[in-house]
Each structure stands twice: as C-alpha cells, then as structure tokens.
A and B are shown apart, each in its own frame.
Chain A
Amino acid sequence: MSASVSSVARRLGRFRRPSVIPGFGLTLGFTLTYFSLIILIPLIALAVRSAGLGPEGFWKAATDPRVLGALRVSFVSALFAAAVNVVFGTLIAWVLVRYRFPGRRIFDAIIDLPFALPTAVAGIALTAIYAPNGAIGALFAPLGWRIAYTPAGIIIAMIFIGLPFVVRTIQPILEEVSHEVEEASATLGASRLQTVTRVILPSLMPAILTGFALAFARAVGEYGSVIFIAGNIPFVSEIAPLLIVIRLEETNYAGAAAIASVMLIISFLLLFAINLIQAWSRRRYGYGN
C-alpha cells in the first residue's frame, strides 16, 4: 500500500512541490474519486441527457413558453429579493459592526437562522404568517392585498433564505474599514452623510455586489421554502425548480434535464461573475473577499 502510494507520489513529483509530509497520493486520490462519484458523474449524466435531445429538441424544451415563464418568475423574483436583501443586509451589517446595544451578539447569531432552518419548515411557517388569515397576511387582506400564493410570497421566501449571504459577506469587510479613513474624510470637511455615501459605501461595493450575487444565486435555485407560499400557478407563480419536479413526475426526464441545464449554465455564469468581481477589486484596490 505505502509502496504504491509513494510511487504515485513520485509520478506526481513534477506537478507538485516536494514535501516531507506523507499522504498526498492517498488524500488527493480519495478526494478526486469521491468528487467524481458524487458530483462529476451525476452532472455528466445531466449533460448527456440534455445532449440526447439534440440541439433542436433542447432548444424546444428550453424555450417552451411554460419553461420561459417559470425561468422568468424565478429570476425576476430572485432579483427583487436580492435587491431588498442588499439594502437591509447592508443596514444590518452596519448596525452589527458599528453599534453597541443590548442583545447585539444574539442578534448576530440569529442572522444565520435561514442557514440552519430546514427550507420546508421555513416554507410552511412563512405561509402560515402571510396567508390571508395569518399574522401579517391578515393585516393586508382588508386592503385587498394577498401575499401568500402570489409572486409577492415567492419574494418574501427568497428574502428569508438570502439575507445571511449578504450580511455575512459585508460584515468582515466593514470591520476592516479603517477608522482613519473616516477621520480623514471628516478633516477634509465631509459631513457624516457624505463620508458614509462617498467613502464607506463605495469601498464596500465589491462585497455588496458579491453578497447580491450569492443571495441571487441561492434564490434562483430555491425550492423548499418557496413552493408552499408560491401558489404555483403556471406563468404567474410557478418557479423553475418546481417545473423540473413536475416534468419528472410526468416522467419527461429530458425536459427536466433541459431546464436544469439552462439553470446550471446561468448559475455558473453568476459564479464566474462573482470571481471576476473579486479578482478585479483585489487587483485595483488591493482588497476583496
């Protein structure tokens, strides 16, 4: 065993820097094997199934009006939710980093609730609150506004699951903003509002954009917390992941694969964009996250 590992290591010699620490072949080998079995091969299966449709078939499945409708619902709602999260997430990060008040650390811990709470639980809880007879839904029902079972409900659920991404991306960067920079701005005659809007917020911009992209990406793919509150009416409140599930129930595997491929391509582009933002900001300003 150890002989074969070391012979592997010798062959790998050129692509890794020599080290006295053992276990490179074993751990990297296991990592790659496990990754291939769990992630890579299944994703390839998805690509193969989508390709099985042929270019025309794929195009037809991907541009089916109901598919386009579902993608539109998912992306537009996610955009709204991420925008709301950027505003409130920045505000919350600001309050948590800058101010001292009773309960701050508990507040800080609760921000991660959407990471920890199972999405289905969040989904039924949000539905209970925003349904016409729920705590908040009842406030709006007399005005004729419905939140649950409409696109508004989708956005609420997406805000819920996206919030920590924005807060947790901005928080560490805000902590690093030097006090001296703010003092410098004040000595140059800038009012506090000018210092915040012209000095601090612009220097947080890379983090804010990254947080936005992360929250957006998460919201687009979200399923569990959305389907209960969404109403799921095609073209109005039917999200793309739900349509995948519906296609599967119809045993239209290729159709499901086509939608999934479109969504994956868009998520990867987003991921790529996040990396670009960070690389660009590191290169130009000397910081990123």
Chain B
Amino acid sequence: MATKLTARRKRRISPTSESRPVQWLLIGIAFLFMGVMLLLPLYAVFHEAFLKGIGAFFTGLAHKDAQAAIRLTLLVAAIAVPLNVIFGVAASWAIAKFEFKGKAFLITLIDLPFSVSPVISGLVYVLLFGAGSFLGPFLKSYGIEVLFALPGIVLATIFVTFPFVARELIPLMQDQGTGDEEAALSLGANGWQTFWRVTLPNIKWGLLYGVLLCNARAMGEFGAVAVVSGKIRGQTTTMPLQVEMLYNEYNGTAAFALASLLAMLALVTLVLKTALEWRFGQEIAAGANH
C-alpha cells in the first residue's frame, strides 16, 4: 500500500519539473523578495503622502513652487522627447535600411549613455558651459544662459534619455527588413511618402513603446539634472529636484505628495507598457528591454 502511494505521487511529477512543494517554496521566495524590494517602496510613497490626510496632500501639490516644478518637468519632457524621437527614427532608418561599415560600432555608441553615471551626464555640460570653459562665457556675452537654466536641464535630459527610442526601433526595423519600402518605391512613391505611409505604420507601436520609456526617464531624471540646474526654487527645479528640496527641509508630506505624482507616472507607464507588450508583442520586438 505504501509503495503504491509513493509510486502514485511520483507519477504526478513530470521529470522536467520540480515537485509542487518546491515550486511553491520558490514562488513564495520570489513573491516575498518582490514584495519587500519593489512593492513596499511603492506603497510607502503613497502612505507617506497621505499620512497627514488628504488636505495636506493637496496643500503640498498646490504650492506655487510645486506647480512651477510640474510645469518645468512637462516643458523639459516636451522638448527632449520629440528631439530624441527624431534622432531615434533617423538613426534606425540609417542603421536598419542600409549596410555600411562601422554599423555595429555605431549601435554600441548609441547605447553609450546607458553606461554613464547620471551625475557624469550632467557634469560634462557643466565642464562644457561652466566657468572656465570656452563656450560658457562666449554664450553669456550674447545673453544666453545654458547652465542653471532651461537649456542645460534639457541637454542633460536628452543625454540620459538618448538611446531609448533608437534602441527600441533599431531591432524592430532590422527585423522588418527593406521589402516593404522597396515595394512602395517600385510603385512610384517617393521617399517621404514611403516613410509616412509604409514605414511609420509598421513601427508605430514600437515607437510608442520607446516614447513611453523615454518620457518616464525624462520626467524622472534626477542626478544629471541636479548637477546642471543650480536648484533655483520655482525656476530651475524639476519635480524630482523639488522632491529632494522638500525632503531635505523636513517637509516630508509635501515631498511625498509630489513624489506620489511621479510614482503615478511610473505606474501609468508600466500599465501602458505592459498593455502594449500583450497586445502588440510582435510589433514591438520586445527583448530590447530597458
């Protein structure tokens, strides 16, 4: 009887899987790790934001400096993201539709900003435009401020979000090859028509995916922007910088209120990103994930 039972138990286990208890143990560990490492911080943001009630939450958001920070963040993203989209489309067109020497090297170069510390991404602009540089004083004599002003913040943001759109589109367009474009051209379409009517519809979901990730990083960037902004209250503080200032002034509720907006942005990004992956997985060519 006992041997029958053990035999029957063995039967239910496929030779290429673990026993149920082991499976549940591993799943349990994974959930625990994710819960503590990922979900708890997310929960903490909202918990702290509403700690002193919903009134304090909205008071924090309604402050004029907070409003200015939100406006600045939106403005910076509105400039940086489209520029990187244009770059991403141009770069992936050149790389995916043509064969030329040094292509692999160019792809590596595009990924370069990912391996540069955000602080260094800001620092390079300080060195380029700051005191003691050649360009800074030159531009200043024409009344153009780069550092501690909008242009510097935009440049630093572009630097850190530089690869997002391109690295999403390159593998996608390489996968799609050049057949569709050649067909359109042979039917008499010109280059622009081919791009707008053939290429763009093919890559639109992948492009949207790249824009989503690019935008999330652009609005949330901290280190690079912190170095170039000068942190002039109400003028050059983006949302993450405003969060830091409030936090360092022991104004926790206001800091977390603003942080909760950024966390919402992250959640919306994740939801849209996941929806795109489920719905258009093929047309996004996932795997190029960052």
Q: Let me know if B119 and A186 touch, CB within 8 A.
A: no
A92 at the interface (CB under 8 A from B): yes
| Chain B residues within an 8 Å CB radius of A268 | 115
A126 to B256, CA, bound (A): 12
Q: Closest CB of chain B to A194's CB: distance in Å?
A: 12
CA distance A273 to B16 in the complex (A): 34
Contact of A38 among B36, B155, B273 (CB under 8 A): B155
Which residues from B are CB-within-8-Å of A221? 115-120
Q: Which residue of A lies closest to B241 (CB)?
A: A120
Query: Complex formed: what's the CA distance from A45 to B121 in Å?
Result: 12
What is the number of residues of chain B that contact chain A, defined by CB distance less than 8 Å?
102
In the complex, A159 Cα to B16 Cα: how many Å?
Answer: 31
Q: Which of B30, B93, B181, B191 contacts A95 (CB 8 A)?
A: B30
Question: Is B26 an interface position by the 8 A CB rule?
Answer: yes
Looking at chain A's contact residues, the main secondary structure is: helix
Q: Does A209 contact B (CB under 8 A)?
A: no
Interface centre among A121, A222, A257 (most CB of B within 10 A): A121
Question: How far is the CB of A107 from the nearest CB of chain B, in Å?
Answer: 6
A116 near B244: Cβ-Cβ < 8 Å: no
CB of B60 closer than 8 Å to a CB of A: no
Contacting residue for A110 out of B29, B38, B127, B289, CB 8 A: B38
B175 part of interface (Cβ distance < 8 Å): no
Instruction: Identify which of B110, B118, B182 gathers the most chain A CB atoms within 10 Å of its CB.
Output: B118
Number of A interface residues, CB 8 Å?
Answer: 94
In the bound assembly, the distance between CA atoms of A35 and B84 in angstroms comes to: 11
| A residues near B266, Cβ cutoff 8 Å | 113, 116-118, 121
* A224 in contact with B223 given A110-B38, A135-B40 (CB within 8 Å): yes
Q: Is the C-beta of B188 less than 8 angstroms from some C-beta in chain A?
A: no
Contact A172 B287 (CB under 8 A): yes
Asked if A42 and B115 sit within 8 Å, CB to CB, the answer is no
- Asked whether A4 is an interface residue with its Cβ less than 8 Å from the other chain, the reply is no
Given known A12-B100, A95-B27, A117-B263, contact A35–B220 (CB-CB < 8 A)? no
A/B interface sample: 10 pairs, CB < 8 A? A16-B98, A42-B125, A110-B270, A116-B269, A126-B44, A172-B287, A228-B244, A245-B226, A245-B227, A260-B117
Using CB atoms and an 8 Å cutoff, list the residues of chain B in contact with chain A.
15-18, 23, 26-27, 29-31, 33-34, 36-42, 44-45, 48, 83, 86-87, 90-91, 93-94, 97-102, 106, 108-110, 112-113, 115-120, 123-128, 130-133, 155, 158-159, 162, 178, 181-182, 185, 190-191, 194-195, 213, 216, 219-223, 226-227, 239-241, 243-244, 247, 252, 255-256, 259, 262-263, 265-267, 269-271, 273-274, 278, 287, 289-290
